[in-house]
């Protein structure tokens, strides 16, 4: 599904990026009564769609594109929101309030919202550019993987044991592939979760037939006629395969902003209401480094739909003259096999965990504590804990009785 771009050469609000943050910013502006022109510019050729299904139901063939669109295609025209798809922003001139697009055209803006997300971090080893090496960031990536599977790829090597790698591994198993998962660290999910959750998912993937290899790096991707045939590991072993799926994180897509003078080192810096250091330019979503109250105001980037969505609402309000502090509770989810993980809060810097329930039952919660106070909950199949844990974190937590927290028969709400 592809659309021709708008011919508009200026707009009251220009939004760069047609992903979660960009789409929600446009929706929120209209919901809040913004009457000026809105133009969304995006590199993607497809109208705004949800990314999470790309490593889940869409990749598995369980949901078609129509079902992952953020709004039906006609919504954008109905709301008078122009889409310029298949168009990259190359340069920004903050003094002139203009952007240059990949086709050389210039667009003027009064306010600019940058929601560029990130580009997949690429493998740096020899052979990484061969056919059959896939990243999972946009629809084209998922479509290319699906085409390879259709064409008969059966042996997959997934590089990276973060959420995207694990979700892709689960789908590939479901589709009948032989799957090996390589993780450089000594546990999966090491960047985002505690050891209990990591070990649980490692065991689950092994039970489902994935060959999970920890503390294992990649030396080289080998191939024949430009097509991948195997991966050489850092212990010298060669694993044959038909496809390689890489999920090793993202690099924030902010180059034009930084070149234009915006402050930022890990992404682009934004203030309490998502303004960059450049006049009239806001940034939201995966690329926006902000002081987060749920991380003791440490400056971080969050890569989640919640963050993109809530920052978009904050910016829409700010543009409408209602400058509010972005202080939404972070939450996240991941689906692997029949397991649904829901996370509330940020576990960064936790110093203790409390386990509620038994992972062997495949229903349990890991509570993360810092100085005795809960700061996050990872809930596997424990929806009530998730809902009540969110309330606890939003209410502002005090130190809790660890024994009571560990008792699955005591609802979390009783500890608030
Ligand atoms: P994106 O949605 O990535 O949108 C950025 C857009 O900007 C892209 O279309 C990009 O092409 C475009 N762009 C970049 N630079 C330019 C430029 N110079 N000019 C024009 N356009 C540009 N989050 C969850 O909370 N739960 C999940 O289960 C989950 N699963 C995920 C699974 C996958 C496979 C992926 C990729 C992500 C997942 N995420 C999940 C993360 C979530 O999708 C992102 O956090 C969210 O999409 C961020 O929104 P965004 O607007 O910041 O960026």
Pocket of ligand 1 contains residue 58 by CB under 6 Å? no
Ligand 1 centroid to 408 CA: how many Å?
A: 36
> How far is CA 243 from its chain centroid?
23
Q: Which two tokens stand for residue 208?
A: 């489902």
Cα–Cα distance, 203 to 258 (Å, whole number): 42
- Could you tell me if the CB of 142 is within 6 A of ligand 1? no
Contact yes or no for 129/152 (Cβ under 8 A)? no
* 3-class DSSP assignment, residue 9: coil
> Is 136 near ligand 1, meaning CB less than 6 Å away?
yes
Beta bridge partner(s), residue 101: 89
Helix (H) or strand (E) segment spanning residue 258: helix 255-259
CA 18 distance to own-chain centroid: 14
Q: Is 304 in the pocket of ligand 1 (CB under 6 A)?
A: yes
Instruction: For residue 236, give both structure tokens.
Output: 């010298």
Residue 6, pLDDT score: 63
Produce one character per residue of 60-98: b if its CB has 16 or more CB atoms within 10 Å, e if not.
Answer: beeeeeeebbbbeeebbeeeebbbbbbbbbeebebeebb
323: CA distance to ligand 1 center in Å? Answer: 25
Please name the residue whose Cα sits nearest to atom 38 of ligand 1: 52
Which residue's CA is minimally distant from atom 27 of ligand 1? 52
Helix intervals (H) in 84-138: none
310 touches ligand 1 (CB under 6 Å): no
Alpha-carbon span 217 to 371, nearest angstrom? 35
Ligand 1 lined by 19 (C-beta under 6 Å): yes
pLDDT score for 7 = 65
Q: How far apart are CA 55 and CA 49, in angstroms?
A: 13
Using DSSP, state whether 277 is helix, strand or coil: coil
In sequence order, the β-bridge partners of residue 131 are: 227
The token duo for 316 is 């829409």
Of 171, 179, 210, nearest in space to 60 by CA: 171
347 lines ligand 1 (CB under 6 A): no
Does 89 sit in the ligand 1 pocket, CB within 6 Å?
Answer: yes
Which residues of the chain fall short of a pLDDT of 70?
1-7
- Residue 345: how many other CB atoms lie within 10 Å: 25
Determine whether the shortest distance from the Cβ of 382 to ligand 1 is under 6 A.
no
Identify the residue whose tokens are 């930084």: 258
Distance 304 CA to ligand 1 centre (A): 8
Going from the Cα of 116 to the center of ligand 1, the distance in angstroms, rounded, reads: 8
**Adjacent-strand bridge partners of 372:** none
Give the E-state strand segments of 115-175 in sequence order. Answer: 118-120, 133-135, 155-159
Atom of ligand 1 nearest to the CA of 331: 25
What are 132-170's pLDDT values in tens digits? 999 999 999 999 999 999 999 999 999 999 999 999 999
- List all residues 6 or more positions away from 12 whose beta carbon is below 8 Å from its beta carbon: 34, 36, 37, 38, 109, 110, 111
d(CA 281, CA 278): 6
Q: Check if 334 has its Cβ closer than 6 Å to any atom of ligand 1.
A: yes
Which of 16, 17, 22, 290 has most ligand 1 atoms within 8 Å of its beta carbon, as the pocket-test mutant? 17
Quote the CA–CA distance of 163 and 378 in Å, as a whole number: 13
Q: Give CA torsion, residues 19, 23, 25, 26, to 10 deg.
A: 150
* Residue that has been written with the tokens 């991707």 in this structure: 221
Q: CA-to-CA distance for 333 and 218, rounded, in angstroms?
A: 28
- C-alpha of residue 23 to centroid of ligand 1, in Å: 11
Quick check: CB of 253 below 6 Å from ligand 1?
A: yes
SS3 assignment, position 112 = strand
Residue with CA nearest ligand 1 atom 29 = 52
Tokens of 189: 């999910």
Cα 122 → chain centroid: 16
> Which single residue is written with the structure tokens 């940034």?
283
pLDDT for the residue numbered 416: 85
Contact 53 CB / ligand 1 (< 6 Å): no
């Amino acid at each position: 599904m592809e659309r021709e771009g708008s011919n508009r050469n200026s707009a009251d609000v220009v939004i760069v990026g047609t992903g979660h943050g960009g789409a929600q910013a446009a929706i929120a502006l209209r919901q809040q009564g913004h009457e000026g022109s809105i133009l969304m510019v995006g590199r993607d050729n497809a109208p705004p769609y949800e990314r999470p299904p790309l490593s889940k139901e869409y990749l598995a063939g369980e949901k078609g594109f129509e079902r992952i669109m953020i709004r039906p295609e006609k919504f954008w025209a109905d709301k008078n929101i122009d889409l310029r798809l298949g168009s990259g922003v190359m340069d920004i001139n903050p003094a002139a309030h203009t952007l240059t697009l990949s086709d050389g055209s210039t667009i003027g803006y009064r306010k600019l919202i940058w929601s560029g997300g990130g580009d997949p971090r690429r493998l740096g080893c020899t052979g990484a550019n061969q056919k059959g090496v896939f990243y999972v960031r946009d629809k084209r990536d998922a479509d290319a993987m699906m085409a390879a599977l259709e064409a008969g790829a059966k042996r997959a090597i997934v590089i990276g044991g973060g959420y995207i790698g694990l979700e892709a591994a689960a789908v590939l198993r479901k589709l009948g592939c032989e799957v090996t998962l390589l993780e450089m660290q000594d546990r999966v999910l090491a960047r985002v979760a505690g050891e209990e959750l990591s070990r649980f998912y490692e065991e689950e993937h092994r039970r489902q037939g994935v060959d999970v290899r920890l503390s294992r790096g990649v030396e080289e991707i080998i191939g024949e006629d430009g097509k991948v045939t195997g991966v050489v590991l850092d212990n010298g072993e060669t694993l044959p395969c038909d496809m390689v799926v890489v999920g090793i994180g993202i690099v924030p897509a902010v180059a034009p902003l930084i070149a234009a003078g915006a402050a930022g080192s890990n992404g682009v810096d934004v203030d309490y209401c998502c303004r960059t250091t450049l006049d009239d330019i806001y940034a939201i979503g995966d690329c926006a480094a902000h002081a987060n109250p749920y991380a003791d105001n440490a400056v971080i980037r969050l890569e989640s739909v919640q963050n993109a969505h809530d920052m978009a609402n904050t910016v829409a309000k700010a543009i409408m003259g209602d400058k509010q502090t972005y202080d939404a509770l972070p939450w996240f989810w991941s689906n692997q096999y029949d397991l649904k993980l829901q996370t509330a809060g940020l576990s960064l810097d936790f110093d203790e965990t409390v386990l509620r329930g038994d992972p062997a039952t495949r229903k349990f919660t890991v509570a993360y504590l810092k100085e005795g106070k809960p700061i996050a909950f990872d809930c596997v199949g424990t929806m009530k804990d998730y809902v009540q844990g969110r309330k606890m974190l939003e209410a502002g937590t005090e130190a809790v009785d660890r024994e009571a927290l560990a008792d699955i028969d005591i609802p979390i709400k009783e500890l608030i």
